[in-house]
Structure 1
Amino acid sequence: MAPPNQVLHKLDGDLAFRIADRAESGHPADRATVLVHVVGDLATVEAAGLWTEWTIGPISRGTVAYGDLEALAALPDVERIEVPRRSRKLLHENVPEMRGDRAREVPPGFSGKGVVVGVVDPDMVDIFHHTFRKPDDTTRFLAYFDQTVHHQFVVTGPVTGGTFTVTFIGPAASGAGRVAETTDPISIPTTAAAFQAALEKLNGINPGDIAVTGGPLPGTPLVVDFIGRYDPAVFDGGRLVLLLEQVTLIPGHDPAQTMVKTSGRAFTADELNAVLAQKNDKFVSLHPAEHATHVLGIAAGNGSQAGTTPGGDCCRRAGYYVGVAPDADLVMVRTTGFIDDLARGARFVLEQPWLPAGATRQPAVVNISNGSELSAHDGTDAVEKAIDALVEAAAGRAVVVAAGNDGQLFADNLPAERLPKTGGAIHSTKDVPAHGTQAFHFTIRGQDLEPDLFELWYPGPGSLNISFTAPGNAPSTPVPPKSGAVRLSYAGHTLRVLSTVGEPQNGRNRITATIVPPDGQPIAPGTWTLRLIETAGTIATAHCWISSTEGDPHPRWVRADQEQSVTVNAPANAKNVITVGAYNIADGQLADFSARGPTLDNRMKPDLAAPGVGVVSAKSVVRPGWLTCDCCADFYLPELGTSTAAPFVAGTVALMFQANPALTFGQVRDILHATARKPSPDPGVPDNAWGYGKLDAEQAVRRALPAAPAGTPVTVSASARASTFLPPAEKLEALRQRVEASATGRLLLALASEHIDEVRRLVNTDRHSLIAWHRMHGPAILRSALATFADEVPIPADHGDRPIADGLGRLLDALADAGSPALRRAIQDHRPLLLAVPGARLTDLDLLEVH
């Protein structure tokens, strides 16, 4: 039995069908995990049956009995109820390309020190990778929060008895889907031993697979940890789910009585250092999935790990692959993979619960490189409102989100092996004429074994009926709005449709539809048709998105119906996030896959673009016991996607917060907009592909600096000027290529090649040469010269208020006194030329007049 029409517009389509399923199966006491947008009194909502796990701004997550959902939705205090949705991952010339190296050299020098960079991601970060360690080999992480471990069951209120059941969803069996198993009713009070025995009766949990501690309930929480064959060291704990199902509490009918299951364990820096000290690469929250490690390496890796990229063709020494903010403090949040847990993770980073009471929070930036294409695409989804509330709370907070990888268009005849597993060709939009029909065509390829989900939004007052046509079949029965949660048998498949009008979150109309395959069989391959029929006499512009599922081929619209716009994923459509697209530094062009805006409420997205193709960064790796050389292992790998673009911006925001911790989110966003570089050719930015253009970290940091009082001196420390982003060897190579373009430049290079080793030795061993080198501020001058090698500006002529040529002359005299006959002759023959170089342009070396 479907819920009544008067509450349908408040319910997620999946919820409406679950209510009907539980009513038909006789299990209305089973509990659903939900996100509730509360616009009134949360206590009233909880009294109606919501058992709250957490609240961020107007959004509360918790569980509710299916039998109570209709009454809960009918409350005026409730605007909308959703089910958590799965997110998906949105996967060294790049740092200089966005001028991250120069950003560090903006006086007085910035590297992210004192700022928290947090990554929220379904994958784990490899804490053993040296790019995330300090010089003393301790961790750079302030905290590490894994939401997938340590499952806690808590009872509150005056509970003296009752029962509950727990459902376990374990790994998929070979050739089959994941199986859900539910325990027999477990009595309250409950001991740890009794709870463990009940769970071990399930087929998927053998003795030794779990450890239950704590209790007895209701007085003390019970905690379940997976061990044995499900030990996170060998099995990804994020694929194991424990759900509360039927719960009866005695005496009952008291809103204070709840039973809540939460997951997660926060590891402190001391705990992580204890793990590192064991030197065995064993950590409960470690898995070889690479996404989060790669992302954090871009934002804030310090490059202290040597190693190769796959293939091992070239070993890169320490200091090569350095992220944007290499001295930032780090926080990792490993999520369950549900999109709402991204908000929970962002709260952990921004509110910093690891700090002692009364301690001052550090400025912090959160990177989210995950998302979902199924959303309202206007920033009104629950997770987006929760993130908006977090960022509004205080200065020194920012959230950066990848735009998504759904911008690519595909030809109809493209072979399956050339299609990415997920993403692209998932959005279509058309105008449905008044009292007319519009058809959308999509292709289903072979072995599509999972249900295919479609979500469609359109404005009122238009009214749309929906039907499907399978290959070689007549159309299905049309489903009109307000008809409830409709389930149809069609062409051997099941169609599930929920069509509502006037969604409270945005006032638009929504249709969700699912094609369910026959038992054990794939969905019929070929070209299907989704048909919309307008019945109210008003033109309706319909936008429809297809869910992109990992591990199973998803449908894509035919080429004629594909639309690149409005493909930015949630939560990147939120109002208080910086949304990042991706471009390829090889040709300077926007990546085909980069998602495009605008939002459905016509806000420009993305905000800007950053490098996102062929980006090399840290790779998760478990070091084999026989390894004696870092260059024997692939500690880095190249990736592409807006996942890799977003952390460039997150790292830049960390530099901005170091420059000015008082910046608000709005100021950070405005600065990034104002300083972005225009692409070439310029399509007319700002637009909904590039945003305001390419990230320029240097100018963003300069603009972020607070205004200094007039006359305030600015000093630049040597360490602040050091550019670790592009190693000296790489900068020298780039400098060499520019210098050798002229005959005079080639002469200077020949002199350097012949005598550099002797000059280096004398500077290190001869007292007079050493004094002359440092008195002329040689290290700082060299770094400054290298930092500007890509610009058409003169080589520095002065350092401070002293001419560089004067100091260089004294150095040449000291080198001639201590050097070999060959070095003395070279200095004597070419001294005028060498003294003329300061102040010259590299492109004009042949114009130097020397006497």
Structure 2
Amino acid sequence: MLGSALYLLAPARGLSELVGYQARSLARAPSAEQLDLQLKRVASGAQAPIVPLFGTLLAPGLAVAPTRLPKVAVLARLESAASAAELSAAGYPPRAQVGRVAALALSPNELSSVAKVPGVLRLQPQLQHRLHLDVNTARNHAVEARVNSGVTGAGVLIGVIDTGIDWRHGDFRHADGSTRIRAVWDQVDDSFANSGGAVGSLPPVDDGAGAPLGTVYTAAQINAALAGAGTVNSRDLVGHGTHAAGCAASNGLAPGGYIGVAPAAEILMVRAGGEAAEDFNLVGDVLAGLQWLGEQADQSGQPLVVSMSFGHHFGAHDGTDAEEVAIDDFTSRSGRAVAVSAGNERAAAIHTSGSALGSRALQLAVTSESNDFLAVDCWLAGDDVVDLGFFDPDGLGFSDADVTPGECVQVENRTNRVSTCVDTVNPLNGSREVLFLAEPRDHGGTITTGTWQIVLRDEGGVSDGRYHCWSVNYQPFTADVDSTATVAMPATARGALAVGAASLRASWPSAGNPNTQIDSPVIDDIAFFSSSGPTRDGRFKPDLVTGGNWVLSAWSEGDGSGSAMAGIPRDERRVSADGTHVASRGTSFSAPQVAGAVALMLEANSQLAAGEIGDRLRTSASSDAFTGTVPNPLWGYGKLDVAAAVAKAALACVADCDGDGEVTVNELVTGVLIALGDAGIAACPRADRDDDGLVTIDELTAGVLAALHGCRA
């Protein structure tokens, strides 16, 4: 039964049965409630679990910066953006910051001190994302939008955080051969440091140990390299980022003529991944990339939409995680939006839910291909009381664990180290997290293969015992599988445009066959892999769906396999007849199409707020016999209709509070009340045209003119 004392580990008590394992002891955990379970464990001197999830290893499994004193990669959820000054004053300046979220690199003995800094609400470890791998522009009406409205994305920045971009590819060059890429920040390429500053430019942040984090390449430096007079060492060795950028913004000048949704948009690329699809940077570096993209847009005064095609399933899936909040804050300004892939896990059996009243046994299959670690992250109501059991395939483990909140029970045998952790009530969402972790006892080893079993038994809490559990390392549940609530974080953020995948293409011309087909998707239906909502707190996600089951887009010269994105051997069928494009699938390639659509909308109306962008995309989305009645958890609000969304975007203007294309007397009065201080900006964000937090005489006048003469972009 859950008690009140706070320990990290108390294995000698609270286990009614311990079979084949020995208990391990650790120091008492710090009492700071601002530390999540993992960081409490680290602060006490424990080994951190989940080896691959936290990147660089520290005996084993702790994400560290490469310094003599290992440092933990941490995200700080702050009371306000201004709270970062408190961190700096206390001697812990953030490496990067997006709104109320800061990225830090801390030694284990600094965690408790930072947790006590005023304005720090919560500290959590940084996670490592997974890429969402596996005639769309015609079927989503992008061509119609460009013809009818004359928009091409000109003057708009599309930022892509991914595995890099093939900057030589013809789809990302102007007709004169010069680059369409504004800049690339390659967080993996150390050319700037290694060359003493002779190659590339200084990146905006360090790596947590004082060294530059990668290299920035400007458009001028890329053009010099294209002309043979300079050096750009950035590569996309996976091909994922190049493909995604092409979906959003290809201009079709490479052979084949495949045009993305916004062919005249400028491109910013943050390469946050390494030499393989699974080698992706930690969340803090991704947030640093998001911050840099925003700064680039601010410097040029251009609207910006960001595409992110990755995610994970470690967290509450309810919008309260630090990364989700960072996206909310990033999109709080007009002229900004973030499109995020919903994930490809609907058929992957990685989620289960139910009620633990009485007892519930959960089973997962661990194979020789997935035996590096097992992690199951469960969330329950904060007032639920549960006993826990955890057994390996040999039936060894423990049952009836009486785990005190904030405590981890940990046992081990010759092969496995098994932990069960129960958090105190999370102050950000009122819920309770329970983690089940199995890792090799010896560094570099493996856990036992076969069927693992988790037991949840509710002991009569106030709530109904409802739980949601996600398999973090994608080992499948073998019973009670729930394909809903599989939209990955951070697509669950309130400020994110979460995008699912439909099947809009079944075949394409390859070198050997003008009508190549690998499988037989039902055209216009949802893709079998496209993750389903809702979020754990009941919101509809994805927001909408567009093509993602076989999409042809730019093929990176560095992706030598031609199929690395799907993790399968080279398959010539996937390479287009022109040899410069490749077919792939996944919500990874749906999200950048929505980013391209947003770029067209922002060209039509650069002052649209993120909420207005989302509203117009959702209300303009189409439905049919496949979608059924919308909104629903699988399709969100329906299928992307770019032309309809752009038409709606062009209607809104200053003082048009409800975005219906007309400015009424009541809306003008609201603007006056804001100007006088009798109402907040939230009453009508569009009254504040320049987004400076004030409504001026000029803005009131513009509203009156719009009321008299009609609403124009």
Q: Secondary structure at the match of 1:530?
A: strand
Provide the residue aligned with 1:835 in structure 2: none
Runs of 4+ in 1 over 6 A off after TM superposition: 22-28, 630-633
Q: In the alignment, does 2:650 pair up with 1:705?
A: yes
Pick closer, same or farther for the CA change 1:439–1:295 going to 2, 3 Å.
same
1:497 to 420, 432, 446: 420
Shift of 1:533: 2.2
Matched letter for residue 429 of structure 1: S
2:286 to 324, 335, 342: 342
Q: How far, CA to CA, are the matches of 2:241 and 2:397 in structure 1?
A: 45
Matched letter for residue 364 of structure 1: L
Provide the residue aligned with 1:544 in structure 2: 469
Matched letter for residue 119 of structure 1: V
Instruction: Output one character per residue of 1:798-850: Cα deviation in whole Å (capped at 9) or x when no partner.
Output: xxxxxxxxxxxxxxxxxxxxxxxxxxxxxxxxxxxxxxxxxxxxxxxxxxxxx
Provide the residue aligned with 2:338 in structure 1: 399
Contact 2:403–2:409, Cα closer than 8 Å, also in 1? no
Shift of 1:652: 0.8
Q: Secondary structure at the match of 2:428?
A: coil
Shift of 1:364: 1.3
Pick closer, same or farther for the CA change 1:128–1:49 going to 2, 3 Å.
same
Pick closer, same or farther for the CA change 1:545–1:347 going to 2, 3 Å.
same
Provide the residue aligned with 1:473 in structure 2: 395
Q: How far, CA to CA, are the matches of 1:447 and 1:396 in structure 2?
A: 44
Provide the residue aligned with 2:327 in structure 1: 387
Pick closer, same or farther for the CA change 1:124–1:635 going to 2, 3 Å.
same
1:556 to 461, 467, 476: 476
Provide the residue aligned with 1:293 in structure 2: 242
Provide the residue aligned with 1:12 in structure 2: 36
Matched letter for residue 572 of structure 1: A
Matches within 5 A, 1:627-646: 634-646=579-591
Pick closer, same or farther for the CA change 1:102–1:16 going to 2, 3 Å.
same
2:364 to 435, 439, 442: 442
Q: Secondary structure at the match of 2:631?
A: coil
Provide the residue aligned with 2:507 in structure 1: none
Matches within 5 A, 1:240-319: 244=209, 260-278=210-228, 283-306=232-255, 316=256
1:427 to 345, 351, 355: 351
Matched letter for residue 273 of structure 1: N
Provide the residue aligned with 1:63 in structure 2: 105
Q: In the alignment, does 2:621 pair up with 1:676?
A: yes
Shift of 1:224: 12
Contact 1:56–1:390, Cα closer than 8 Å, also in 2? yes
Q: How far, CA to CA, are the matches of 1:456 and 1:631 in structure 2?
A: 43
Matched letter for residue 529 of structure 2: F
Provide the residue aligned with 2:377 in structure 1: 455
Shift of 1:483: 5.3
Contact 1:3–1:19, Cα closer than 8 Å, also in 2? no
Pick closer, same or farther for the CA change 1:698–1:666 going to 2, 3 Å.
same
Provide the residue aligned with 2:141 in structure 1: 99
Instruction: Output one character per residue of 1:106-135: Cα deviation in whole Å (capped at 9) or x when no partner.
Output: 14x1111111111111x1100000000000
- Extract unaligned runs of 5+ from structure 1: 153-209, 215-222, 226-240, 245-259, 307-315, 409-423, 549-553, 625-629, 710-851
Provide the residue aligned with 1:567 in structure 2: 486
Shift of 1:100: 0.8
Q: Secondary structure at the match of 2:331?
A: helix
Shift of 1:58: 1.2
Q: Secondary structure at the match of 1:6?
A: coil
Matches within 5 A, 1:609-628: 609-621=545-557
Matches within 5 A, 1:586-605: 586-605=522-541
Q: How far, CA to CA, are the matches of 1:30 and 1:363 in structure 2?
A: 39
Q: How far, CA to CA, are the matches of 2:212 and 2:647 in structure 1?
A: 44
Q: How far, CA to CA, are the matches of 2:227 and 2:196 in structure 1?
A: 27
Contact 1:22–1:66, Cα closer than 8 Å, also in 2? no
Shift of 1:137: 0.2
Contact 2:191–2:233, Cα closer than 8 Å, also in 1? no
Provide the residue aligned with 1:211 in structure 2: 194
Instruction: Output one character per residue of 1:212-246: Cα deviation in whole Å (capped at 9) or x when no partner.
Output: 748xxxxxxxx999xxxxxxxxxxxxxxx9764xx
Pick closer, same or farther for the CA change 1:654–1:62 going to 2, 3 Å.
same
Matched letter for residue 493 of structure 2: A
TM-score (normalizing by structure 2): 0.74
Matches within 5 A, 1:112-127: 112-121=153-162, 123-127=163-167
Pick closer, same or farther for the CA change 1:511–1:567 going to 2, 3 Å.
same
Provide the residue aligned with 1:782 in structure 2: none
Q: How far, CA to CA, are the matches of 2:524 and 2:559 in structure 1?
A: 37
Contact 2:297–2:304, Cα closer than 8 Å, also in 1? no
Shift of 1:499: 1.1
Q: How far, CA to CA, are the matches of 1:608 and 1:503 in structure 2?
A: 30
Pick closer, same or farther for the CA change 1:29–1:682 going to 2, 3 Å.
closer
Q: How far, CA to CA, are the matches of 1:353 and 1:328 in structure 2?
A: 13
Pick closer, same or farther for the CA change 1:353–1:492 going to 2, 3 Å.
same
Q: How far, CA to CA, are the matches of 1:675 and 1:483 in structure 2?
A: 46
Shift of 1:543: 0.8
Q: How far, CA to CA, are the matches of 2:298 and 2:87 in structure 1?
A: 30
Please, which moves more after superposition, 512-521 or 664-673?
Answer: 512-521
Provide the residue aligned with 1:328 in structure 2: 265
Instruction: Output one character per residue of 1:377-405: Cα deviation in whole Å (capped at 9) or x when no partner.
Output: 0111111111211110x211111111011
Q: How far, CA to CA, are the matches of 2:46 and 2:417 in structure 1?
A: 18
Pick closer, same or farther for the CA change 1:46–1:488 going to 2, 3 Å.
farther
Contact 1:407–1:595, Cα closer than 8 Å, also in 2? yes
Q: Secondary structure at the match of 1:556?
A: coil
Shift of 1:487: 2.4
Provide the residue aligned with 2:610 in structure 1: 665
Matched letter for residue 12 of structure 1: D
Q: How far, CA to CA, are the matches of 2:146 and 2:634 in structure 1?
A: 28
Instruction: Output one character per residue of 1:8-41: Cα deviation in whole Å (capped at 9) or x when no partner.
Output: x432333233223379999996432211112264
Contact 2:95–2:208, Cα closer than 8 Å, also in 1? no
TM-score (normalizing by structure 1): 0.62
Matched letter for residue 10 of structure 1: Q
Pick closer, same or farther for the CA change 1:287–1:647 going to 2, 3 Å.
closer
Q: Percent same amino acid at aligned positions?
A: 32
Matched letter for residue 263 of structure 2: P
Contact 1:84–1:338, Cα closer than 8 Å, also in 2? yes
Q: Secondary structure at the match of 1:588?
A: coil
Contact 2:153–2:600, Cα closer than 8 Å, also in 1? yes
Q: How far, CA to CA, are the matches of 2:440 and 2:68 in structure 1?
A: 26
Please, which moves more after superposition, 651-660 or 530-539?
Answer: 530-539
2:310 to 344, 363, 370: 370
Pick closer, same or farther for the CA change 1:511–1:74 going to 2, 3 Å.
farther
Pick closer, same or farther for the CA change 1:467–1:30 going to 2, 3 Å.
same
Matched letter for residue 248 of structure 2: A
Q: How far, CA to CA, are the matches of 2:645 and 2:602 in structure 1?
A: 11
Contact 2:217–2:232, Cα closer than 8 Å, also in 1? no
Q: Secondary structure at the match of 1:672?
A: helix
Pick closer, same or farther for the CA change 1:272–1:266 going to 2, 3 Å.
same
Shift of 1:489: 1.0
Please, which moves more after superposition, 129-138 or 287-296?
Answer: 287-296
Shift of 1:475: 4.1
Q: Secondary structure at the match of 2:493?
A: coil
Q: Secondary structure at the match of 2:379?
A: strand
Q: How far, CA to CA, are the matches of 2:412 and 2:468 in structure 1?
A: 25
Instruction: Output one character per residue of 1:638-697: Cα deviation in whole Å (capped at 9) or x when no partner.
Output: 111101111111111111111111211111111111111103244221111101100011
Q: How far, CA to CA, are the matches of 1:664 and 1:612 in structure 2?
A: 26
Q: How far, CA to CA, are the matches of 1:578 and 1:640 in structure 2?
A: 19
Q: Secondary structure at the match of 2:340?
A: strand
Pick closer, same or farther for the CA change 1:328–1:304 going to 2, 3 Å.
same
